[in-house]
Amino acid sequence: MHPLAAERAERRVVPAVASGLTPPAQGNADPAAPSHRVTLQPSGWQYDAPQGQSLMRAARAVGIRLPSSCRNGTCRACMCMLVSGEVRYEIEWPGVTREEREEGWMLPCVAHAQSDVVLEVPDAVRIEPASTAPRQRLTGAQR
């Protein structure tokens, strides 16, 4: 078992069988596309994850920060438990082993909801929602 998984094992619930973990079509979320409800445990926070958007990006958009570092499926900092529901990965080989996936571990930074999902993410925190305004480039006087 991965050290992160062992560290969090005492807080986990019995996982749902994580099946159907194949890559979806890549791309940005379409506002008209259907979305799926995401529930975080133990906080009970809920948000909608539009089709085509990772669970992490959708959380950030509504002001919830999930643990992260690389946001591309390699560092495993975001690894959490899929309690119920189905996800698909946007990359072919995310940084979880087959055994970890069978135990219910998943990476929300590269996972897209294919149904309503429940995730156990005890380290999720509330933040200000991500701004949709374009970032302004800083000039020398503003640095």
Report in angstroms the alpha-carbon separations of 119 from 80, 132, 141. Answer: 7, 25, 44
Listed by start position, the domains of the chain span 3-126
CA angle 53, 59, 65 (to 5 degrees): 135
pLDDT of residue 8: 44
Q: What is the pLDDT of residue 51?
A: 93
CA distance 49 to 59: 8
> How confident is the prediction for the chain on average, in pLDDT?
79
Handedness of CA 5, 11, 17, 20 (dihedral sign): negative
Q: What is the mean pLDDT of residues 61-81?
A: 93
Q: What does the pLDDT average to over 21-27?
A: 36
Q: Which CATH superfamily is domain 3-126 in?
A: Beta-grasp domain (3.10.20.30)
* pLDDT classification of 10: cutoffs 50, 70, 90: very low
Residue 11: predicted pLDDT = 36
pLDDT band at residue 71 under the 50/70/90 scheme: confident
What pLDDT score was predicted for residue 76? 93
Residues 6+ apart with CB under 8 A from 30: 50, 51, 52
SS3 28: coil
For 52-70, the pLDDT digits (tens) are 999 999 999 999 999 999 8
In degrees and rounded to multiples of 5, residue 140 shows phi and psi of -55, -40
Is pLDDT above 90 for 3? no
pLDDT for residue 16: 34
Buried b (16+ CB within 10 A) or exposed e, 3-26: ebbeebeeebeebeebeebeeeee
pLDDT at 85: 98
